[in-house]
Structure 1
Amino acid sequence: MNRLLRSICACLFTLTVLAVATPSQAQDDVGLVRVGSPAPDFRLPTLKGESKSLSQYRGKIVLVNFWASWCPYCRDEMPSMDRLLRSFPKGDLVILAVNIEKRIPEKYRRAPVSFDFLSDAAGQVQQRYGANRLPDTFIVDRKGIIRQRVTGGIEWDAPKVVSYLKSL
């Protein structure tokens, strides 16, 4: 009996390891976004109660930035995102800062930035994009194709970043 129990446990352990290590068909069906693929459209509310969709910005370069107020890297990169936005002709670059918290703290409702904060309180857009490490930013070109994914905070107004974005 003891030998049978050990054998069953060993089989279950092996199956568990294989299930975790091998992507399943169910995970592939979720269709997480990939660089080079069309960016999935979404519609989310702004802090002012307006509704914004990704598709309304077709023809513009869009940064879809997933963030949270408790994330220090998210907070640190926001000033450089604002400077980046100001370095482009008005309307040529759009930043959609998608907050993943249930409730956005009041201080961000008054934040002096030039871009919109969107609320994804239900986490549906975050899940669709697979944005699990914050900040997580998707660079979407004028045709709606994801060109880059940047995980972690960066200086968005660095000359190389600005040059790359202007080349899109």
Structure 2
Amino acid sequence: MPSAAHRPPRGRSSLPGTVLVAVLVAFGLISAATLAAVYQLANQNGRLLLRLDHLERRLGRDDSSGDDGAGRAHLLPALTTLTESRIERNGLHAGADAPLFELPGLDGQTVSLRAYRGRRVLLVFSDPRCGPCEQLAPHLVRLQMEHATNGLSVVMIGRGDARENREKARQYGFKFPVALQRRWEVSKQYGIFATPVAFLIHEDGVIARDVGKGVNEILALVS
């Protein structure tokens, strides 16, 4: 009589399949959690960039106090993309070519840096809502008068509303040209997002000294 076929004990045949299903489920849960984390991180990064852009638009109206506003007034992150976050923020250094610009002036004429080739230029970045800029204003008027005949010209680049800049120019009696940048486009070329700051530019268009930040450093550029 043939022997009965061997049969495995009940309950053991389904164990490997159960383990495999558990492993697959765990792997799926881990993958889903990873994807969710990546999505959340990307979403947060997008919101951060939007907030930085919003901050850039609003910080232009903020003033800061100090003895001479040494580069702290209207400091701006100007971060809208990761590429822009790597741009120069401490100002172009002595020996660099001063970036050329052509901007509308308060008098309706175009203000061009190229037109001042052959003269030294004290290029001042200002803002009508900047407190330290107002402290600097009378000194700029004096400098223009003192150096009018020795080859030094004061040129100011303001930003924002033309009417506000015009009122400040009238209030302090500016006799030097005041050009207007819409936001920070020329400031970006010169590598600094602050007011008041200034660059002394040689007759050949080369920056003579490192950027002056605030009233004292700006006046020291021409002392």
Q: What TM-score, normalized to structure 1?
A: 0.71
Q: Tell me what 1:152 maps to.
A: 214
Q: Which one of the candidate residues 103, 110, 129 is aligned to 2:170?
A: 110
Q: Tell me what 1:19 maps to.
A: none
* Greater Rg over alpha carbons, structure: 2
Please give the alpha-carbon distance, in whole angstroms, between the structure 2 residues aligned to 1:156 and 1:31: 20
Change (3 A) 1:128 1:155: closer
Q: Tell me what 1:20 maps to.
A: none
109-118 vs 136-145, greater mean Cα deviation: 109-118
124-133 vs 34-43, greater mean Cα deviation: 124-133
One-letter amino acid of the structure 2 residue matched with residue 110 of structure 1: R
> What do you get for the CA RMSD once the two structures are aligned?
3.3
Q: What TM-score, normalized to structure 2?
A: 0.56
1:127 shift after superposition: 2.2
Please give the alpha-carbon distance, in whole angstroms, between the structure 2 residues aligned to 1:52 and 1:91: 21
Q: Tell me what 2:92 maps to.
A: 34
Cα deviation code 1:25-65 (max 9, x no counterpart): 95599678622110011011111101120011011111111
Please give the alpha-carbon distance, in whole angstroms, between the structure 2 residues aligned to 1:135 and 1:121: 16
Change (3 A) 1:162 1:152: closer
Q: Which runs of 5+ in 2 are unaligned?
A: 1-28, 46-81
Structure with higher RCO (Cα < 8 A, 6+ apart) = 1
Q: Which runs of 5+ in 1 are unaligned?
A: 17-24, 164-168
Aligned 1:1-150 pairs, distance under 5 A: 5=34, 26=83, 34-35=92-93, 36-90=95-149, 92-105=151-164, 106-111=166-171, 112-147=173-208, 148-150=210-212
Change (3 A) 1:139 1:104: farther
Please give the alpha-carbon distance, in whole angstroms, between the structure 2 residues aligned to 1:131 and 1:70: 18
Change (3 A) 1:28 1:70: closer
